[in-house]
Amino acid sequence: MTTSSRQLSECALPPWRRAVLKVGSNLLAADGGGLTPRYAQALSAFISASHDVGREVVVVSSGAVAAGRALMRERATVGGDLAARQALAALGQMPMIALWQKLSDRPVAQVLLTHDDLRNRRRYLNARATLRELLALGVLPVVNENDTVAVDELKLGDNDNLAAIVAALVDADLLLIASDVDALYSADPRRDSTAEPIGHVPQLTPEVLAMASDSGTNIGTGGMRTKLQAATKAAAAGIPTALFGGRDAATVKALEQGRLRGTLINVAGNRMQARKYWLRHAPGGSGHIRVDAGAARALLGGRASLLPGGIVDVAGEFHRGDLIDIVDTNSRAIARGLCQYGALEVRRLLGRHSRDIESLLGYSYGAEIVHRDDLATLADPETKQGGMEA
C-alpha cells in the first residue's frame, strides 16, 4: 500500500548536473508477468527533459528476472533456486534493455557489473571510464548487476546499494531512487495509521536508520532498509539522495521542475575522497591480514602504511592488487586496502623487516604491504555517520 503523493510536502531538489536514477522492478513488472512501460514512460520523459537542459542520467534498472520469468511462464519446471534465477536473469536482460531503448530518444547502452568489478581497483576504474565515456557520447547507460554469473550478487546484492556505488563511480551530484514507496515514514504506514511522511532528513542519524530496521513495528518491510543503506553510502561520497514514488506521474513530472515530493536525504560534512570511499564501501575479498597492537594503533592514526613487521597472520587467499581487510588481534576489522603482495608472499614476510623483502622473495614491489595511499581505516571517527574526509 502506498500513500498518495498528494499528502506529501514538496521541497526543492539540490542543484545537479549528473544523477543516478534507480528504478525498482515493481515499477517495470506487469501484473500479468513480463515488463510494462506504464510507469517507465514518465521516468523516461524525466530523463529526456534532463538531457534537454544539459544534464546527464545513469539508470540502474531492476526487472531482468521478472522479464525472464514471463518468457518462461509456461515452463512449470522453472523453479526459484539460484541457477533458475540466474537463467531467468539472462533471459530477461534483453527485454529489459529493449524496453528502455523503446522509451529513450537516444541510444541505450547496457552495463553489467559484478562485485569483482567493484572490488578490483583496475576494473573499478575501467568501469568508471566506460560510464563517463558513454555519458560524453550522449548515450543513456542502463546498469544492472551481472547476476547471470555472479553468485554472491544474486544472493546478497541489491540494486539500491548498487545505485549508490554507481553514483560514486561516476561522481554524480544526486541519487534518485524511484519505487512504489513514496517516502520515508515515521512508522510503517501499512500498519500504523498515524505514520507521517518525512520530507527532509538533514542527516542520517541512528534514529532515522532505526525507522527501517527489520522489526515488524516499522517500515523495514517494503524495501526501505536497503534504500537507507544506499543513502548512507551515497552520503559518504557527499551525494544527497531523493526517495520518491515512481508510480505517480505528477511526482515524476515535478522532478523536471526541480521539485521533490518524497524524502530528501541531505549530506552532512564535506565530500569524502573518492578513493577512500571506494576502499571503504567496495565489496571485500576472501582474505584478510591480522596485525599486532602496535601496527593497529599506527594504522588507526591515519598516516601509516602497513609494513611486514606488524603482521602476525594471513587468512584466505588473495593476489597482488586485491582489496583486503586488515583486522586486529581481536579480529575486529580496522582497515581495508589494496595489497601489494599476494597471500603466499605475505606469509613469507610475516614479522620481517621491509629491507628483507627482496632477499626473501627475490624481488620487491616496495617496502609496504599496503601503502597508506591505498588504505582506508574503518574504526576511526571518520567512519561515524555524518563524518567526512576533507
- 3-state SS, residue 85: helix
Beta-strand ranges (E) seen in the chain are: 10-12, 18-23, 56-61, 108-113, 140-145, 174-179, 184-185, 197-198, 200-201, 241-245, 259-265, 288-291, 311-315, 323-327, 333-338, 375-377
CATH number of 284-383, picked from 3.40.50.300, 3.40.50.720, 2.60.40.10, 2.30.130.10: 2.30.130.10
CA-nearest of 357, 334, 335 to 346 is 357
The fraction of the chain above a pLDDT of 90, given in percent, is 56
Surface-to-core class of residue 192, CB atoms within 10 Å of its CB (0-12 exposed, 13-18 middle, 19+ buried): middle
Q: What is the pLDDT of residue 156?
A: 40
d(CA 123, CA 121): 6
Kindly report, residue by residue over 184-209, the tens digit of the pLDDT: 988 877 778 888 899 999 988 888 88
pTM of the shown model: 0.78
Q: What is the pLDDT of residue 360?
A: 97
Q: What is the pLDDT of residue 187?
A: 81
Highest mean pLDDT among 120-134, 139-153, 158-172, 267-281: 158-172
d(CA 14, CA 55): 13
CB 59 within 8 A of CB 141: yes
- pLDDT surpasses 90 at 157: no
- pLDDT surpasses 90 at 65: no
Q: What is the pLDDT of residue 254?
A: 97
Residue range 214-230: average pLDDT?
60
Q: For 7-275, CATH number?
A: 3.40.1160.10
Q: Are 7-275 and 284-383 in the same CATH fold?
A: no
- Distance set, CA 336 to CA 168, 281, 385 (Å): 18, 9, 18
Residue extents of the structural domains in the chain? 7-275, 284-383
Angle, vertex CA 60, rays to CA 134 and CA 233, nearest 5: 105
d(CA 82, CA 193): 38
- pLDDT surpasses 70 at 388: no
Surface-to-core class of residue 375, CB atoms within 10 Å of its CB (0-12 exposed, 13-18 middle, 19+ buried): buried
- Distance set, CA 196 to CA 189, 232, 263, 271 (Å): 8, 22, 12, 31
Confidence of residue 55 (pLDDT cuts 50, 70, 90): very high
Region of poorest pLDDT, from 54-68, 200-214, 216-230: 216-230
Region of poorest pLDDT, from 95-104, 230-239, 281-290: 281-290
- Distance set, CA 320 to CA 114, 298, 327 (Å): 20, 23, 18
The residues with which 356 forms a beta bridge, in sequence order, are: none
Kindly report, residue by residue over 300-352, the tens digit of the pLDDT: 987 899 999 999 999 999 989 889 999 999 999 999 999 999 999 999 999 99
